[in-house]
Amino acid sequence: MAEVRNIDTRERILDTAERLFMAHGYDGTSMRQITSEANVNLAAVNYHFGSKESLMQEVFRRRLDWLNDERMRVLDHLEAEAAGQPVKPSLIVDAFFGTLLRMADDKSRGGMTFLRLLGRTLTDPSEFIRAFLAHEYQHVMDRYKEALFRALPEVPKAEIVWRFHFMLGATSYAIAGTDALRLVTDWQIEAEDSVDRLDRLVPRLMSFLIGGLRAPLPQFS
């Protein structure tokens, strides 16, 4: 009997939880689903993580720590290259959203599963999740807002903040990829297969985001 035991129980729980939380949401996923699909004992989650809430936080922390650090590194590098001059807006947008989207190809960092989980969770109603994400993101958001302020001195700061918000929404929704409205189904244009679609999603979304960011300012009537 190939009684494999303890090939990192923690990691197997995290992987399974990530996938199930993505598919059915936090409230819609039970501990018994997680532990049974991960082939671990029911009590393993509480032993290793303490509680279901802590497990959820660890699922995110495992990915977000790297992502947000990477975002900081990339922005550091861009600002160093600019040598005091403002960084181009499109480069800032790519550093924030492109770095995120390129995780889709990196299975060792969660790949598309984590991206969809993140996209869906940004609008999750659970209080503790929102609070946790807000805390994790706070300092990165501040850095990027400041960079955009300098890059677009002629645009009111309030406008930039709002447009950052809109860009987050477009990205979140794009990667959540619920096909909630079956927008993309039964549509035979260009015969793109799913692999191709993922490859082309990044430039497509980037064009859209930059277009929105640089749009003419609204006239308040």
Site for DNA in 1-30 (CB under 7 A): 5-6, 9, 29-30
Binding positions for a copy of itself, 140-179, rule CB under 8 A: 141, 156-159, 161-174, 176, 178-179
Burial class (CB in 10 A: 0-12, 13-18, 19+), 14: buried
Q: How many whole angstroms separate alpha carbon 71 and alpha carbon 65?
A: 10
The token duo for 26 is 């936090």
Helices 111-121 and 52-82 pack at an angle, to 10 degrees, of 100
According to the binding rule CB under 8 A, does residue 68 interact with a copy of itself? no
Burial class (CB in 10 A: 0-12, 13-18, 19+), 7: exposed
Q: Which does 161 bind (CB under 5 to 8 A by kind): DNA, a copy of itself, none?
A: a copy of itself
Site for DNA in 47-76 (CB under 7 A): 47-48, 51-53
- Window 176-205: residues binding a copy of itself (CB under 8 A): 176, 178-184, 187, 189-190, 192, 199-201, 203-205
Contact partner at residue 165 from a copy of itself, DNA, none, CB < 5 to 8 Å by partner kind? a copy of itself
Closer residue to a copy of itself in complex, CB, 43/157: 157
Q: Which does 80 bind (CB under 5 to 8 A by kind): a copy of itself, DNA, none?
A: none
Q: Which stretch binds DNA (CB under 7 A): 34-42, 78-86, 183-191, 197-205?
A: 34-42
Residue 19 in contact with residue 112, Cβ under 8 Å?
Answer: no
Distance CA 153, CA 180 (A): 38
First to last CA, the chain: 75
CB of 15 to DNA, least distance (A): 14
Q: Which residue reads 């495992």 in tokens?
A: 62
Q: Is-contact 111 104, C-beta < 8 A?
A: yes
Q: Smallest gap, in angstroms, from Cβ of residue 89 to DNA? A: 43
Nearer to DNA, 42 or 80 (CB): 42
Triad 71, 77, 81: Cα angle to 5°: 145
Q: Which chain residues interact with DNA by CB under 7 A?
A: 5-6, 9, 29-33, 40-48, 51-53
